[in-house]
Protein backbone atom coordinates (compact mmCIF):
# COMPACT_ATOMS: atom_id res chain seq x y z
CA UNK A 1 0.00 0.00 0.00
CA UNK A 2 1.53 3.30 -1.10
CA UNK A 3 1.56 6.15 1.45
CA UNK A 4 0.30 8.55 -1.19
CA UNK A 5 -2.71 6.45 -2.11
CA UNK A 6 -6.20 7.59 -1.26
CA UNK A 7 -7.04 4.29 0.45
CA UNK A 8 -4.14 4.72 2.93
CA UNK A 9 -5.28 8.23 3.84
CA UNK A 10 -8.83 7.05 4.50
CA UNK A 11 -7.58 4.20 6.71
CA UNK A 12 -5.40 6.59 8.73
CA UNK A 13 -8.30 9.01 9.20
CA UNK A 14 -10.60 6.19 10.34
CA UNK A 15 -8.00 4.93 12.83
CA UNK A 16 -7.41 8.42 14.25
CA UNK A 17 -11.14 9.15 14.59
CA UNK A 18 -11.61 5.77 16.30
CA UNK A 19 -8.85 6.55 18.79
CA UNK A 20 -10.38 9.95 19.51
CA UNK A 21 -13.84 8.43 20.00
CA UNK A 22 -12.42 5.80 22.35
CA UNK A 23 -10.72 8.49 24.44
CA UNK A 24 -13.94 10.50 24.69
CA UNK A 25 -15.94 7.44 25.71
CA UNK A 26 -13.48 6.28 28.36
CA UNK A 27 -13.05 9.79 29.75
CA UNK A 28 -16.79 10.26 30.13
CA UNK A 29 -16.68 9.82 33.91
CA UNK A 30 -16.12 13.54 34.39
CA UNK A 31 -17.42 14.65 37.74
CA UNK A 32 -20.64 16.56 37.66
CA UNK A 33 -21.67 19.07 40.25
CA UNK A 34 -24.05 17.83 42.91
CA UNK A 35 -25.84 19.70 45.68
CA UNK A 36 -25.63 18.74 49.34
CA UNK A 37 -29.24 18.63 50.53
CA UNK A 38 -28.43 19.81 54.06
CA UNK A 39 -26.08 22.71 53.37
CA UNK A 40 -26.91 23.52 49.71
CA UNK A 41 -23.18 23.49 48.98
CA UNK A 42 -21.98 22.29 45.59
CA UNK A 43 -19.65 19.30 45.49
CA UNK A 44 -18.25 16.74 43.08
CA UNK A 45 -17.71 13.05 43.72
CA UNK A 46 -14.07 12.02 43.39
CA UNK A 47 -14.18 8.62 41.69
CA UNK A 48 -10.64 7.72 42.77
CA UNK A 49 -11.30 7.87 46.50
CA UNK A 50 -15.11 7.77 46.38
CA UNK A 51 -15.48 10.91 48.49
CA UNK A 52 -17.12 14.31 48.21
CA UNK A 53 -15.00 17.32 47.27
CA UNK A 54 -16.75 20.55 48.23
CA UNK A 55 -16.37 23.55 45.94
CA UNK A 56 -17.06 26.32 48.50
CA UNK A 57 -19.99 27.50 46.40
CA UNK A 58 -23.70 27.37 47.21
CA UNK A 59 -26.77 26.81 45.05
CA UNK A 60 -28.96 29.89 45.33
CA UNK A 61 -32.21 28.10 44.43
CA UNK A 62 -31.60 25.54 47.17
CA UNK A 63 -30.88 28.28 49.71
CA UNK A 64 -34.05 30.16 48.71
CA UNK A 65 -36.09 26.99 49.08
CA UNK A 66 -34.61 26.27 52.51
CA UNK A 67 -35.43 29.83 53.63
CA UNK A 68 -39.06 29.37 52.55
CA UNK A 69 -39.41 26.29 54.76
CA UNK A 70 -38.34 28.15 57.92
The total of other beta-carbon atoms located within 10 Å of residue 9's CB is 11
Domain boundaries, the chain: 1-30, 31-70
Structure confidence at residue 62 (pLDDT): 87
Q: What is the pLDDT of residues 8-60, one digit of tens each?
A: 889 999 999 999 998 887 766 656 778 888 888 999 887 777 788 888 899 88
CA distance 14 to 25: 16
Q: Cβ(43)–Cβ(53) under 8 Å?
A: yes
Following DSSP, what letter does each residue of 3-61 receive, concatenated?
TTSHHHHHHHHHHHHHHHHHHHHHT------EE-TTT-EEEEEETTTTEEEEEEEE-HH
Q: Are 35 and 62 in contact, with CB atoms under 8 Å apart?
A: yes
Amino acid sequence: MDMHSRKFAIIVIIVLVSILALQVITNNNNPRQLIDSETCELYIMDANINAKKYLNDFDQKCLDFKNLNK
